[in-house]
Amino acid sequence: MHTTIAEPETTDVRVGRRPSLIREAGYTYFPIALIARLPFAMMVVGILTLVVSARDSLALGGATSAMTGLGTALIGPLLGAAADRFGQRRVLLVAGTVNSLLLAAMAWLAFSPAPDAALLGVAFLIGATMPQVAPLSRSRLVGIIGRAFPKDGRTKVVNGTMAYESAADEIAFVFGPVIVGLLATTMSPAAPVIGAALLALVFVTAFALHPTAATPAASREKGFAQAPARELFRARILAPVAGALGMGLFFGSMLTSLTAFMAERGAPEQAGLVYGAMGLGSAALALGVALFPARFTLTARWLTFATILVGGTIALPFVDSVAAIAVCLLVIGIGIGPTLVSQYSLAAAFSPRGRSATVMTMLGSAVIVGQSASSAITGVIADAAGSAVALYAPLAAALLVLGAGVAAAIASRR
């Protein structure tokens, strides 16, 4: 497989000592980076829960979530490009602070007499300033691997790192809604959004100030020639982005249709708790990807586990009990984690020189865009036709993930 994850001239391998990513990054890095993802995962779900509770409209809640995704789609990749050019620290500090203030404003606006348009406008700004912790963490770690590890050992370390990062994403994206459900149930509908604002203010700031963020941006290194922007639009980059979009579409449609399913049974606030069943197998399988043999290629893993994802979603429209839908979510979880790992690993391997943060942000933004758009569309479907019809939306998203995997396999061979 062609790889551009790091360049030999930047390698800094210590003689006589085997490098360790944990040691190179610092022992506090991984806990901080993990917790700093939670606001990212809680925002869309928290805003959806808040608006539905405050304005009593699933359609408006979905539209508000969609505006969050639109803001991320338009501005998120630009934040990644800014991090590539100016360094992560200053970009994260500005975005994280502004994002926290906007979340606090949303918590107040939802219950105020403000028009719906005000909610939509603030939601767009929340998406636009959303700190891209997960993709920037991947970019940061890939840079560390390039500097600290010998060339012949980087691929294995990168694959293991992408496995961990995807597992961390799973923990955030699956258990973020669980936290939202717990806070909304035990405190108030505004509590998840306020909690996300506080977490962002503390842990995103800590992530920005961590020593690993002090490394100069690649584009400012002496003699470094950043790849032209057109390299970002090759099929081997766009296929993983399309796959990430499909995963986001699945997350949003699954949670929204599940919310409608639980609402029909009188307990919409418990949707996040049931949704957590999906994370049990997903996070474990994402971590287990590092143990797969090399002959089980990234594209083969994507196709295999995307097929499991499709298989698990086929039964969704036909279930009629909470226990049955939880079983479906357990099966679906087996397919999610390894698929995400494969998408990010392929994107890391084919990232153009000096564009790692941009590529990772493109994938991260695609997940949020998909989640937000499908939340809006599925909310309208659920309002009009009920949860039984809305539960077909996750199947459509899963088929897109599988189709993108086929495209990735073709692009990788070329």
pLDDT for the residue 262: 82
Confidence at 260, pLDDT banded by 50, 70, 90: confident
CATH classification of the domain holding 281: 1.20.1250.20
Predicted pLDDT of residue 3: 39
Residue 51 located in a structural domain: yes
Over the stretch 38-48, which tens digit does the pLDDT of each residue have?
A: 887 777 778 87
| 9: in domain | no
DSSP string covering 225-289: -PPPGGGGGSHHHHHHHHHHHHHHHHHHHHHHHHHHHHHTTT-GGGHHHHHTHHHHHHHHHHHHG
Domains of the chain: total: 1
> Residue 200's pLDDT is what?
86
For residue 276, being part of any structural domain is answered with: yes
Local confidence band at 269 (pLDDT 50, 70, 90 cut-offs): low
330 φψ region: left (φ > 0), alpha (ψ -120 to 50), beta (else) = alpha
Question: What does the pLDDT read at residue 12?
Answer: 44
Range of the domain at 44: 24-218+227-413
pLDDT computed for residue 397 by the predictor:
93
Mean pLDDT within 289-316: 85
User: Is 13 a domain residue?
Assistant: no
Within a domain: residue 10?
no
Residue 3 lies in a domain: no
Q: Report the distance separating Cα 337 and Cα 354, nearest Å.
A: 27
Tell me whether residue 11 is in a domain.
no
- State how far Cα 274 lies from the chain centre: 20
Mean confidence (pLDDT) of the chain: 79
Q: How much is the pLDDT for 160?
A: 76
Q: Does residue 133 belong to any structural domain of this protein?
A: yes
* pLDDT one-digit tens code per residue, 308-318: 999 989 988 88
